[in-house]
Amino acid sequence: MDANVVVMGKESVGKSALTVRLLTRRFIGEYGDIESIYSHSVSVDGREITLNIWDSPYSEKKVQWADGYVLVYSICDRASFNAVCRLVQAIKSAKDYLNVDKAPIVIVGNKRDLHHRRTVLSEEGRLLALKTDCHFYEVSAAENYHSVLMVFDGLVDRMKDAKLTVKRPLRLKGIVKSMSAVFARRRTDSF
Ligand SMILES: Nc1nc2c(ncn2[C@@H]2O[C@H](COP(=O)(O)OP(=O)(O)OP(=O)(O)O)[C@@H](O)[C@H]2O)c(=O)[nH]1
């Protein structure tokens, strides 16, 4: 079974860092301008689910493609939190949303390790999630694999009850990249 997950949020909030952390357990610091779809298999209740994770800016097309959303802001960047508030509204009012079994949304406040530079309180994230029926996590992609795993586990948990259909087959095979391509690029860049 396939599930499409889109990771969205303002630039530099750590979307790639979260995705790469989930897939490789590593934090590599700089990620460049890579917009890709990554495939990642998880086993839930004995069922194998392939997550197609798209780390990308907002677009209507991606909203329709997704079975679940990870909306990321940085706890040090108030504008990125405001952007997530708008994203939740945009997803919920997207034409297709009501027809796709209310695909779950997880709100993530990243860069928890930079708490001394915090401008968005945990309570604000929690309240936004409560008001909009989303899940909420504060994490540090830089410091911690486990909290990142919980974000995606929580999403899969909510998605597995929704009907994951083959309504929007992935026609993007050409841009699916393996993580080894990311590391290969870094090696090339360093020369
Ligand atoms: N301290 C700290 N830095 C982080 C964390 N997550 C990401 N960063 C840094 O924030 C910067 C941006 O991270 P990216 O993962 O490239 O952010 P992005 O949202 O994918 O950015 P765009 O590709 O521009 O949309 C990089 O320098 C990362 O090293 C974190 O949890 N803590």
* Distance between Cα 27 and ligand 1 center (Å): 10
User: What is this model's ipTM?
Assistant: 0.98
Pairwise CA distance, residues 140 & 147, whole Å: 7
Six-digit token string for 112: 């928890």
Q: Please tell me the predicted confidence (pLDDT) of residue 191.
A: 37
* Distance between Cα 143 and ligand 1 center (Å): 12
List Cβ<8 Å contacts ≥24 apart for 78-81: 78/119, 78/120, 79/10, 80/9, 80/10, 80/13, 81/109, 81/120, 81/124, 81/125
Q: Which of 8, 10, 11, 12 to mutate to test the pocket of ligand 1 (most atoms within 8 A of CB)?
A: 12
Considering the chain, what is the average pLDDT of its residues?
80
Q: Please tell me the predicted confidence (pLDDT) of residue 96.
A: 57
Instruction: Give pLDDT tens digits for 78-135.
Output: 999 999 999 999 888 875 555 555 789 999 999 999 999 999 999 999 999 999 999 9
Which atom of ligand 1 is the closest one to the Cα of 72? Answer: 19
Pairwise CA distance, residues 38 & 182, whole Å: 11
Q: pTM higher than 0.95 for the full model?
A: no
Between helices 122-132 and 78-93, what is the axis angle to 10°? 10
Question: Is it the case that residue 163 has pLDDT exceeding 60?
Answer: no
Report the pocket of ligand 1 as residue ranges, CB < 6 Å: 9, 11-17, 29-31, 110-111, 113-114, 140-142
**CATH 1.10.1060.10 is right for the domain spanning 2-167:** no
